Structure formats: C-alpha cells, structure tokens
Amino acid sequence: MSAAVETTTLAACRGVGVRYLSGEVQVVALAKVDLTIDAGETLALRGPSGSGKTTLLHLLGGLVLPSEGEVHWKGRSLALLDAAARGEARAAGIAYVFQGSNLLPNLTALENVAFAAWLAAKAERQTGLEPAELLALVGLEGKGDALPTELSGGEGQRVALARSLAQMPELLLCDEPTGHLDSDTAGRVLDLIWALRERFDFALVLATHDPGVAARCERQVELADGRVIGGPR
Ligand SMILES: Nc1ncnc2c1ncn2[C@@H]1O[C@H](COP(=O)(O)OP(=O)(O)O)[C@@H](O)[C@H]1O
Ligand SMILES: [Mg+2]
C-alpha cells in the first residue's frame, strides 16, 4: 500500500457519451469522457461554446443521464437515482450556480435562499445557518427584501451562491458563473466563491471559456466537440 495522501473520489464519469436528438439529427454533445472529481478539489472545464461543458455539468448533477457509460457519485451510479434525480442530487450535496443566477423571479433574495434551505432540510441536508446568515455570508444582508429584478448581476450571483450553500454542497457546479458580469464584478464573485470554499470545503467544478478564470483552479480539463482533449494538470 502506498502512503500517499488519501483522496476521496466524489464523482466519476466512465466512458460517458450524451447524444441529443435535434429533429431527425443526432447531436453528439459528449463522447467517451472519463473524468474523476475528488473531494475538495477545484477543476475548470474549458472549451469553446458548444464543446459540451454544460452537458458535462448536467451529467455530474444528475440532471441528464448518459446515453452510454456511467456517472458515479461516491461509487453509486447516478442512473439508479433516476426519477427523483434532482432531489437526489440535492440530497447528495450537489449544488448548481448557473450563468444567469436563475433565481425564482417572484421570490425575494431572502425567500430564494429560504426556499433552497427548505428543500435542503427536506433532503436532510442543511447548513445549520439561517437564510439571513447565508445572505450575510455573501455580503447581502441589506438586500433580503429585494426581488431578483432589483439586484445587479453580481448581487444575483451572490444570492445564487447563498442559495447553493443552503444545501451544504460537497460539490458545487458553476456554469460560466461570471459570464454575464463585467470583469471587476466577475473578479469579486470569483473571490467570494474561493472564500466560501475555504470555509465550507466543497469541491468546485467550474465551466468557463475564460483562461484567466480557469487558471484559478488547481486542475483544468479542455473540451472540444464533446471530447476531453487534455489540459494542464
Ligand atoms: N437539449 C439539447 N438538444 C439538442 N442539442 C443540444 C442540447 N443541449 C446541448 N446540445 C448540443 O450539444 C452540444 C454541447 O452543448 P453544451 O453542453 O451546451 O456546450 P457548452 O456548454 O460548452 O456551450 C452543442 O452542440 C449543443 O448544441
Ligand atoms: Mg454552456
């Protein structure tokens, strides 16, 4: 046995392919992807638009099932989680932050976080922090009553982060989280993500086409036409 530092594998893709039917035409979104994500690591998924980044994040979050191959979460096939895939992923501690913040438009910032906390509690997965404390953690204590339309892009992403923390994620999937933001705001949102990681110790998989953003991650994987073509480790 080696005396190497022990790592826990959270998620793994083995020979994964995803095909979509677009009318009569089959679109290969991903092909033969092998990928392992260890607890606590930071991984950037790089690649141009259409290369398969979002599809890979959806696979890791159990939102899409592979057309071939398997996606495992802590050694269990995500396909077995099946019908309640979203709920199960939430129960497993997999959280999402999308490119636009994707907040529920009729709920205030605080209610968005509270709703996520309520779902997390149902899945027996709560941080122990009140929604207002989560908002304060992302620097938005004064914005609890604001509706999503009353928030700036950066604030919306902060609420989305607070919301994701409500489910105490072990894996945070971020899909171009700063894609709609100016570079100063983007930098601050990224700083916040890294600061939250320090505190909550989740693994981070972040899709981006921005090399500067990718460079913040310990590891990078490059996608092109649905295939992993490597990248600096
Ligand atoms: N629901 C869908 N139906 C058909 N084709 C899709 C669907 N989602 C993604 N695709 C196609 O799969 C490929 C990968 O898309 P995506 O994962 O969104 O890439 P990226 O996030 O890197 O831009 C693209 O060719 C895209 O057009
Ligand atoms: Mg995408």
Q: For ligand 1, say whether the CB of 52 is within 6 Å of any of its atoms.
A: yes
Q: For ligand 1, say whether the CB of 2 is within 6 Å of any of its atoms.
A: no
pLDDT at 89: 65
Q: For ligand 1, say whether the CB of 29 is within 6 Å of any of its atoms.
A: yes
| CB contact set of 20 (below 8 Å; sequence gap of 6+) | 26, 27, 29
Distance 84 CA to ligand 2 centre (A): 24
Q: What is the mean pLDDT of residues 148-167?
A: 93
CA distances from 218 to 31, 137, 179, 207 (A): 24, 24, 20, 14
Model confidence at 67, in pLDDT bands (50, 70, 90)?
very high
Q: What is the mean pLDDT of residues 169-181?
A: 92
Residue of minimum CA distance from atom 12 in ligand 1: 29
Q: DSSP letter at 47? A: -
**Closest-lying ligand to the alpha carbon of 53?**
1
> Can you give the pTM of this predicted structure?
0.91
pLDDT at 76: 81
Model confidence at 7, in pLDDT bands (50, 70, 90)?
confident
Closest among 40, 34, 42, 26 to 208, alpha carbons compared: 42
Write phi, then psi, for 169 (nearest 5 degrees).
Answer: -70, 145
- The domains located in the chain, with CATH, are 41-63+84-222 (3.40.50.300)
Q: For ligand 1, say whether the CB of 175 is within 6 Å of any of its atoms.
A: no
Order of strands, edge to edge, in the sheet holding 42-46?
94-97, 171-175, 203-208, 42-46, 219-224, 227-230
Q: Which residues lie across from 45 on neighbouring strands?
A: 207, 221
**Closest-lying ligand to the alpha carbon of 49?**
1
For residue 87, what are its two tokens?
A: 């709920």
Model confidence at 232, in pLDDT bands (50, 70, 90)?
very low
Strand pairing category for 203-208 and 171-175 = parallel
Name the residue of 24, 26, 46, 55 whose CB sits within 8 Å of the most ligand 1 atoms, as the mutation to test its pocket.
Answer: 55
Closest among 99, 202, 188 to 140, alpha carbons compared: 188
* Burial status of residue 161 (CB atoms within 10 A of its CB: 0-12, 13-18, 19 or more): buried
Angle of helix 85-92 relative to helix 109-122, nearest 10 degrees, comes to: 90
**Closest-lying ligand to the alpha carbon of 209?**
1
**Closest-lying ligand to the alpha carbon of 46?**
1
Q: For ligand 1, say whether the CB of 50 is within 6 Å of any of its atoms.
A: yes
Summarised one tens digit per residue, pLDDT across range 77-114 is 876 655 555 456 666 788 989 887 789 999 999 999 99
pLDDT at 64: 87
Index of the ligand 1 atom closest to the CA of residue 51: 22
29-38: burial string, b at 16+ Cβ within 10 Å, e else? bbbebebebe
Which has more confidence, 30 or 231?
30
Q: What is the mean pLDDT of residues 138-143?
A: 94
Model confidence at 179, in pLDDT bands (50, 70, 90)?
confident
Residue of minimum CA distance from atom 11 in ligand 1: 29
| CB contact set of 32 (below 8 Å; sequence gap of 6+) | 15, 16, 17, 69, 227
Index of the ligand 1 atom closest to the CA of residue 55: 17
Model confidence at 233, in pLDDT bands (50, 70, 90)?
very low
* Distance separating alpha carbons of residues 45 and 107, to the nearest angstrom: 31
Write phi, then psi, for 136 (nearest 5 degrees).
Answer: -65, -35
Q: DSSP letter at 101? A: -
Strand pairing category for 68-73 and 9-22 = antiparallel
